[in-house]
Amino acid sequence: MRASSLSLTSFLIPLIPLFGISACSGDDGGRGDGLDSSTGIGSLGSSDDVDTTTESTGSSTGATKLDMGGGETMGTGGDGAMDKGCEKVDLLFVIDNSGSMADEQVNLVSSFPGFITAIQDQLADTEGYHIGVITSDLYAYNNGCQVEGAMVISTGGTDSSYGICGPYAEGHNYMTEMDNLTSTFSCAAQVGTAGDGNERPMQTMLAALAPGMSAPGGCNEGFLRDDALLVIVIITDEEDDHEVDGCLQLPQPGSSGEPPAWYAGVIAAKGGIETNVVVLSLLGQSLDNDCGAVVASKLIGFTNRFGDNGFTGDVCAGSYDEFFTAALPVVDTACENYVPVP
């Protein structure tokens, strides 16, 4: 294509189906198939795919930006005591690696250094960062783990960095502040465009957050920490739901489940504390765009379920600098409001 406590296991088990078939060598010849050209983003609330109760809840780059303030407002724990906010941040990048995503990956790599530097400057008391990259399918070019949700340590295929990116500085399959983040992220995030045209970003995201993945011996061992703010960055120019593949004319289901279940799975991964998660999504937002992106109504609905901790931007933008600058206050406020795990 363009190109509250919850149990995590109870949400993740039904969300991992058989892998979909690949579309025409990863090319997205079917962009826009099944999309009613008379329907704009403003009328998506009538679709069964849209969460009408949350469509206007989250933030976007078109909304009024939050005041970052001076960091004086402190979060409160469950007992009402003052705390100093998050001290650790886990960043998970979910990158569409289907046939139309070359320009978007370049834009992401270009904007990342400014984003991570701004986070580190703004969250001055934060002591440790974990930064992982996954794709929207089972990434065939990854050395080592060959399962959905495994973090990228090597790349290959068309438009990729063709790099051996990890293990990283501390020996993990994810980056930390000990890495040269500009070069290592550039290597890992240019995952290329030879991926499955049946994108499954929500499925791979939930797989990456499954307990076994971060457990000892898991593909992402040590990544997800109970005492860290989780920030998920999603970038795709497709919806996570395909009625018919444009090349093979066969059903393409996308990820199993619907936005409520995806949301519940993420919150369960953070011990049921919804305020300890931020979701930043670069998606197709309107039919009138310059890159042929499909309006991602389900992914918009998923992001908006996080309320003030959800933020959407335009994947077709020529640069993502403005998106990440506007998203920084969302991360900052979530860090201030972080609820320590009992």
DSSP string, 172-224: SSSEETTS-HHHHHHHHH-B-S-S-SS--HHHHHHHHHSHHHHSTTSTTTT-S
How far, in whole angstroms, is CA 335 from its chain's centroid?
18
Query: pLDDT tens digits for 102-124?
Result: 999 999 999 999 999 999 999 98
Query: pLDDT tens digits for 26-82?
Result: 444 334 333 333 333 333 333 334 443 444 445 555 433 333 333 333 334 444 445
Domains and CATH numbers, the chain: 8-17+85-336 (3.40.50.410)
The mean per-residue pLDDT over the stretch 328-338 comes to 97
Please check whether residue 268 is in contact with residue 299, taking contact to mean a CB–CB distance below 8 angstroms: no
Report, in angstroms and rounded to the nearest whole number, the Rg of the chain calculated over CA atoms. 19
Return the residue matching tokens 């293990």.
167
DSSP 283-312: EB--SS-SS-PPB-HHHHHHHHTTGGGEEE
Query: pLDDT tens digits for 160-194?
Result: 999 999 999 999 999 999 999 999 999 999 999 99
Which of 185, 225, 272 is closest to 8 using CA atoms? 272
Please check whether residue 303 is in contact with residue 240, taking contact to mean a CB–CB distance below 8 angstroms: no
